[in-house]
Structure formats: structure tokens, C-alpha cells
Chain A
Amino acid sequence: MDVIVDNFDLFAQGWLRTVQICFYALLGALPLGILLAAARVSPVPFLRSLGGTWVTIFMSCPLTVVLFFMAFGLPEIGIKGSYFWFGTIGLALYSASFVCEALRSGINAVPAGQAEAARSIGLSFMRSLNLVILPQALRSSLPPMTNAIIYLIKNSAIVGAFGVGQDLFAVADTLTAARGLSALPVLTGVIAGYLLLVLPIGRILSLIETKVAILR
């Protein structure tokens, strides 16, 4: 307990850093995931295969490989940038495919008649997606979406290892390796930090879930 109290500011900084990574990654992954899902269910074959290819690549590629590409591949071909953005964008690109699949499962759960009715009153594909399909799909994809978001949060620890550092997990390294503190209390603090992030989000999402539960 002393370890956590004594190094509270370091834990707090690390926590904030992790929150930053997660926030920006989510900010990218959500809209991108929605676009990908839209592409995957669109009537345009080119968009469908584009979305499918994207998801296949990023779902079969380990996150570390994606991040390695971002942190070391891009500078190699002359693209310079901060590791924070390399890592965060890498995480966003990777997580978007999971957001997409969560949404797509939701879209598939919306009865086909809803789309037919939307088209029948003259709504375009994008409009029927926006106004009819997605609002219903979002509700049924909340549970898999919650998982995707929680995975994103946990994966932020991997982003930390690609030059970003100073995130919650890296705090453990600093305290144990550089400052020689015992691993157990340090890791307890780190776990508490992640719980502090994951639990409220899980709670909020399950609240939303019950709020918007759809009548059929």
C-alpha cells in the first residue's frame, strides 16, 4: 500500500497517459469502424471487398506487428512522427476492425424487413443505414462493442511499449526495474488503475444497454 501512496503522482500520470491513448484511439476507431461496417454491408461490391480486406488484414495481424510497422516501418520510409501518434493511430486502425465486426453482427441482427421498409419509402442506402439500420444495430451490438472497447483499453499497454512509455503499465517498469521496488504492490496499483478505467466504462455501457433495449 505504501508503494502506491508514495508513488501516487507517478501512478496518476501513468493513468492519465493511458486514458489519453485510449481516448484518441477510440476517437479514431469508432467512426472508422462504423465506416468499415457501412462498407461491408453496402450494395457496392468494391466497398464490400475493401471493408472485408481491411478487417481480414487487421484481424489476422497481431497488434504488436501493426505497432511495429507504425513505429519502425514508417520512419524507415521517411515518415516521421511522434511515437504517441504512431502507437495511438496503430491501435485505432487495429481496433476499428473489431468495432466494425461488432457493428456488423448488430446489423445482421436487424430484421431484413427493416431495410426493405426503409428502401420502400425512398431512403437512400446511406440514409436507411443512418436512420433505420444503425440505430437498431448499435443497440444489439453494444455487448460485443463493450468487449471491443475493453480490449482497446487493455491493448493500450502494448502501445506503451512502442516508444510511447509513461503509461500505466510502463509505470510498473519504472518502479520495479529502475527504482527496484517489489513487483507485487506495484502491479497491484497498476491493476487497480486499469480496473478504475474498465469498470466504469463497462458499467456505463451496460446502463445504456438496458436503457435502449429494443422492443420487438
Chain B
Amino acid sequence: MKTQRLTISMIVLGALALTGCGGTTAAANKVEKQTFAAGTTMERLATAGTIRIGTKFDQPGYGLKGLSGKPEGFDVEIGKIIAGKLGIPEDKIQWVETPSKVREESIIQNKVDIITATYVITDERRKRVSFGGPYYLAGSDLMVKASDSAISGPESFKDAKLKVCGGIGSIDGDKIKPYLADPTNQMVEFDVLSKCEDALRTGQVDAMTAGNSILDGMAASSKGTYKVIGKPFFVQPYGVGMAKGDIKFCEFVNKSLKEAAADGSYERAWKETAGKGLETVAKLPEPAPCS
């Protein structure tokens, strides 16, 4: 009797492991106990034993809060790697939703300790916050219907009849505008990308622009309805946002990322999230100098 019951529970456990439920399997990140110099952010966080990480809750592959109630994605995994290096386990991380608009404010107003939220490093943003990383180089790209042959790259929008959709306030939208013959009429902007996808589906627009990995994910899940052009017209380095001028913390983040790349946890994080089903393998870019 006793052995039988044990066997059953083992089978159940095995089944769970096979289906990979929960999406937390990537979190085989080591939690390391370390000591940090007094007065540093690392020391403060490690002593507190908890960290507030800002991420997106609606960005598939990067930060998406699903039925599990916890955000999942590449950004989330990067956050976990950094937390792990501080000796903070996953369940002690407080996830804070930080949509594009509020990211700088969230850091400045001390609502989060770091932000991993497809947060593109720009000089303009550097005036107000600091960035560790980059941990990924995304590119602004275009996605069209698989049957489309009119658009081969941003230059195709010299034809003023072609319309492109982007997120309101997105870098991709901002950077495609110079390519447009008639930006007022060719550019369509929505608050969320799913509306752009809807507009592309119904033929209201001819293309949509976003980060290439986001588009790769959308194209992959569309089962051949869409294709990504694959000629990024603007490279976007994703960084780890933090309070302006925290150079020691920035260097710690860069060191942590390097270690994660070396021990394979960085690549594993990519493959199980944003890189799932894609042929492209993310490689950790050279870190930018901390400032």
C-alpha cells in the first residue's frame, strides 16, 4: 500500500515536470550568499532580503503576467538573475508593473529598485536614470502579412499609400517616421501592439513596427499569417534601469550579467522565454560604461 501511494505521487510529479507548467523552470538560478561593502545598494538590498523589480505585465516573451499570477519572460529572468546574485530568492522579489510611460518616474520616485522592462538605453533617458547592461540588443523591425510583397524595408514607405502601425510613444514608431513620405497619414498609433496587429489583420495598415524579438514572437505564433522583414532600422539596447548615478550597482549588474552568460543561465533564460521556438540565440552584448 505504502509503496503504491508513493509511486502515484511520483508519477504526478513527473507529469508536472514534463509539461513544464508554471514557466518557472528557468529559475534554476543560484541564490548566492555574498557580502557587500557597507552603504552600497547591493548591501541594502541583500540585508533587506527583498527587491522591487519593475517589468511589463503585457509583453509576451519579456514580461507577461498570465494565469500563474507571476510575470514571465526574458526581462523577468534577467531580474531573477540579478536578484539571485544579491542572495534574494525568487519568492522574495516584488514585481511592479512599469509600462513604458512611467519607467523613469518609477525609478526617480523610488517605487522600484531596478527595471527590466524592454527598457531601451537612450542618451535622453540617461539624463534621468542610469542603466546596467545592455543585456540584449533589440532592433526596430517591420512585420507584414506573409503574402505582402510591397514592403521590403523602411524605404518602402516612400510610397505614401502604405501605412504603418506602432505603439504610441514607442521608439519604433518614433524612428520609422523619418522614413515616411507623409507621416501624418501613413503613421497609425495605438496604445497597445495588439491593436496594431488587429489593424494589420483587417488591412487597415500594411505593416506594423516594434522590436524585432516582439515581432518574431508574434509572427511565430501567427502560424504563417505574418512575416518579419528582418532588416532592423534602429538598434535598441535593453538595459537594467536604476537610480541615476549608482555606479557601483551598475557595475555589479554588469558583473552579474557576465557571470550569467558564462555559466549558461543567460542563454537558458533566453531560450525558455523570448527565444522559444526561434532560431536566433541571444548573446550578451558588450556592457556600456557605467555613468
What residues make up the interface of A, taking CB atoms closer than 8 Å to B? 17, 71-72, 75-76, 80, 82-84, 161-166, 170, 173-174, 176-183
In-complex Cβ contact of B124 among A17, A83, A179 (8 A): A179
| B174 with A178: CB separation less than 8 A | yes
> B108-131 CB contact bits vs A (8 Å, 1 = yes)?
000000000000001011011000
| B169 with A163: CB separation less than 8 A | no
The A-B contact count (CB < 8 A) is 78
A76-B191 Cα distance, complex, nearest whole Å: 19
A76-B171 Cα distance, complex, nearest whole Å: 28
A163-B163 Cα distance, complex, nearest whole Å: 11
A166-B187 Cα distance, complex, nearest whole Å: 9
CB distance from B110 to the nearest CB of A (A): 16
> Is B152 engaged at the interface, CB distance under 8 Å to the other chain?
no
> Is B179 engaged at the interface, CB distance under 8 Å to the other chain?
no
> Is B105 engaged at the interface, CB distance under 8 Å to the other chain?
yes
> Is B260 engaged at the interface, CB distance under 8 Å to the other chain?
no
B residues within 8 A CB of A164? 188-189
CB distance from A77 to the nearest CB of B (A): 10
| B204 with A83: CB separation less than 8 A | yes
Q: With A76-B202, A170-B168, A173-B168 as known contacts, state yes or no: A165 contacts B187, CB within 8 Å.
A: yes
Q: Which of B139-192 contact A (CB under 8 A)?
A: 165, 168-171, 173-174, 183-185, 187-191
What residues make up the interface of B, taking CB atoms closer than 8 Å to A? 100-101, 104-105, 122, 124-125, 127-128, 165, 168-171, 173-174, 183-185, 187-191, 195, 198-199, 202-204
* Between-chain CB contacts (< 8 Å), 9 pairs: A82-B185, A165-B187, A176-B101, A176-B169, A178-B173, A178-B174, A179-B122, A180-B124, A182-B104
Q: With A83-B188, A161-B190, A165-B189 as known contacts, state yes or no: A177 contacts B195, CB within 8 Å.
A: no
5 cross-chain pairs, A with B, having the tightest CB-CB distances, nearest first:
A177-B169, A165-B189, A173-B169, A180-B125, A75-B202
Find the B residue at minimum CB distance from A182: B128
A75-B187 Cα distance, complex, nearest whole Å: 17
A residues within 8 A CB of B165? 163
A121-B258 Cα distance, complex, nearest whole Å: 92
A176-B106 Cα distance, complex, nearest whole Å: 13
Find the B residue at minimum CB distance from A13: B184
Q: With A75-B204, A174-B169, A178-B171 as known contacts, state yes or no: A163 contacts B128, CB within 8 Å.
A: no
A residues within 8 A CB of B203? 75, 80
| A177 with B170: CB separation less than 8 A | yes
A31-B127 Cα distance, complex, nearest whole Å: 50
In-complex Cβ contact of A170 among B104, B128, B189 (8 A): B189
Supplied contacts A17-B184, A163-B199, 20 more A-B pairs, CB within 8 Å: A72-B195, A75-B199, A75-B202, A75-B203, A83-B188, A161-B168, A163-B165, A163-B204, A165-B168, A166-B183, A166-B187, A170-B169, A174-B174, A176-B101, A176-B104, A178-B170, A178-B173, A179-B122, A179-B124, A182-B128
Find the B residue at minimum CB distance from A162: B190
Q: With A161-B190, A163-B188 as known contacts, state yes or no: A177 contacts B122, CB within 8 Å.
A: no
